[in-house]
Structure 1
Amino acid sequence: MSCYFIISVSLEPGKDRADYDDYIKLVRPIVEKHRGRYVVRSEGIEYMGKDWRPDRFIMIWFPDRESIDRCFSSEEYRRIMSKRENTVDSQAVIITAGEMYGDDRDKREGKMG
């Protein structure tokens, strides 16, 4: 079943962003090699609360959980991950795709969520 890999990124104050910018350039072909597809990668965030204020969000679709595991445990990814770890604070979740609201079955059964 397909999955979404969602990451929030907060830039570390006083850290040089050059390594993170390099990481961004290097990680995309690795993700794509493992059948990942970027859905969102944006710093255009509107905050709805006071306490959680990441600088960037990334959402990547993968066809299955195994593809995520292979991608982020690959040797080529391990070679670049320190560029991210040393410059930003990031949190990630994996969400397994479920049913979409508003699909035909929901319409037939009169469900709206």
Structure 2
Amino acid sequence: MARRPCVSLSPRGRGPGCGGNCLRRPKPLVEQYGGEYLARGGNMTLKETDLWTPSRLVLIRFPDAETANRFYDSAEYQEVLQISKKSARRTMIVLEGL
């Protein structure tokens, strides 16, 4: 099986700002770049939190790291990101090997 990269996003809300658009708008963009959601929120059991304590986790698998980076750097996603940053702090990681 080919090892494909995954984008991990850990948003932490901090108030109103996106009106739900920052949750709905990325999905068609993710799909346009060949991405597939593996998880969008859901219950988590945190076992070790010395370095990072996510409150919500989103996992997206892309065909390759180049495509994941193109998605993130795209003008369309950057527009959504600017709106989303008004209501949430985040950690974004592109990880190869999933």
> Shorter-chain TM-score category?
0.7 to 0.9
Gaps of 5+ in 2: none
**1:43: Cα distance to partner?**
3.5
Which one has the bigger helix percentage? Answer: 1
**1:49: Cα distance to partner?**
4.2
TM-score, with structure 2 as normaliser: 0.83
Match of residue 33 from structure 1? 32
Over the aligned positions, Cα root-mean-square deviation in angstroms equals: 2.0
Is the CA contact (8 Å cut-off) linking 1:43 and 1:55 kept in structure 2? no
Instruction: Map 1:61-80 onto structure 2 (within 5 A).
Output: 61-80=61-80
**Structure with bigger gyration radius:** 1
- The higher-RCO structure (CA 8 Å, 6+ apart) is 2
Which one has the bigger strand percentage? Answer: 1
Instruction: Map 1:70-109 onto structure 2 (within 5 A).
Output: 70-97=70-97
> Percent identity over the alignment?
21
TM-score, with structure 1 as normaliser: 0.73
